[in-house]
Amino acid sequence: MEAHEITIDRKRRKIGGLSPDLADRCFTCGTCSGGCPATGLVPIEGGEGTWDARKAIRAIVFGMEQEVIDSKWPWVCTICGRCEYACPMGIKLMRTFRACRTLRDRDKVPGPIHKGTVMNLEKGNNLGIPTEDFLYLLADMGKEMEEEGFPGFYVPVDKEGANIIVTINSKEPFGEPDDMKFWWKIFYAAKEDWTVSSVNWEGVNWGLFSGDDEAWKEQCRRIIENARRLKCKTILYPE
């Protein structure tokens, strides 16, 4: 194997140097990668071996953060937090790897999560379900529930002063609508005073996953705005 020199530019780092707990405090013990199911799954492009949490943190310390940002590592890592929970030096590994996602150009974010985020900002949910379709689906399903042994059931929409406001995972109205009935049955039995917003009801925050801080914040803001507008005390986020 031929040795080659690594050029270190620690001054121009975007992640390292921001805060010591984002990487620099690491003493390379390897607790993070030792307990991580993603260790060994992503080959290092143009290098040898595979990525793991410890190596990614080392790369950031050495000023090679662009290699981490360009790799699949921050996306195959599920940001589950086992590494951070166990880290003896208090490194914020989740924040560090999410920062790598943030620094990826938006058109290079893998899969649909950036497109879904843009869709959400425009249409109020990740899959672009129109409000009217959503409202008719809820109305139809309420009727179904009545026929299935829940007489008097309907989905309260925009009900002011309800005790609980519920967010919805758009995959359910889109592809698995019957799965919404589990919570509905529980609400029926408990005689809960609950509601769903007619707009911005999406509970899945892909801005969080894609590293898009502004979109992340905006989606949270909308959920809180719905609760305030409808004067609901509790937000139920079945995610």
Contacts of 99 (CB under 8 A, 6+ apart): 14, 15, 18, 22, 211
Closest to other proteins by CB, 24 or 195: 195
Residue from 34, 47, 88, 110 touching other proteins (CB under 8 A): that is: 110
CB of 23 to other proteins, least distance (A): 18
CB of 179 to other proteins, least distance (A): 7
* Site residue total, other proteins (CB under 8 A): 61
Using rule CB under 8 A, residue 196 touches other proteins: no
Stretch near other proteins under the rule CB under 8 A, chosen from 3-11, 62-70, 83-91, 218-226 = 83-91
Residue from 63, 116, 124, 173 touching other proteins (CB under 8 A): that is: 116
In the chain, how long is the greatest CA-to-CA distance? 76
Closest to other proteins by CB, 17 or 128: 128
Closest to other proteins by CB, 63 or 166: 166
x/- string (CB under 8 A) for other proteins, residues 170-189? -x-------x-xxx-xx-xx
Using rule CB under 8 A, residue 106 touches other proteins: no
Q: Which token pair is 111?
A: 């899969």
Cα 142 to Cα 153: distance, rounded to the nearest angstrom: 6
Stretch near other proteins under the rule CB under 8 A, chosen from 7-15, 19-27, 109-117, 223-231 = 109-117
- In the chain the first and final C-alpha atoms are separated, in Å, by 49
Cα 206 to Cα 203: distance, rounded to the nearest angstrom: 9
Using rule CB under 8 A, residue 108 touches other proteins: no
Considering only CA atoms, give the Rg of the chain: 22
CB of 7 to other proteins, least distance (A): 30
Stretch near other proteins under the rule CB under 8 A, chosen from 6-14, 56-64, 198-206, 225-233 = 198-206
Paired strand residues for 77: none
Written as one string, the DSSP assignment of 188-209 is: HHHT--EEB-SSS-B---HHHH
Contacts of 114 (CB under 8 A, 6+ apart): 106, 107, 206, 210, 212
Going by their DSSP bridges, the two strands 164-166 and 194-195 should be labelled as parallel
Q: What are phi and psi of 235, to 5 degrees?
A: -100, 125
Contacts of 142 (CB under 8 A, 6+ apart): 153, 154, 155
Ranges of beta strands (E only) in the chain are 164-166, 194-195, 234-236
Residue from 158, 177, 199, 229 touching other proteins (CB under 8 A): that is: 158
Residues that bind other proteins (CB under 8 A): 35, 37-38, 41-42, 72, 75-82, 84-86, 110-113, 116, 135-136, 139-140, 142-143, 149-154, 156-159, 164, 169, 171, 179, 181-183, 185-186, 188-191, 198, 204, 206, 208-210, 234, 236, 238-239
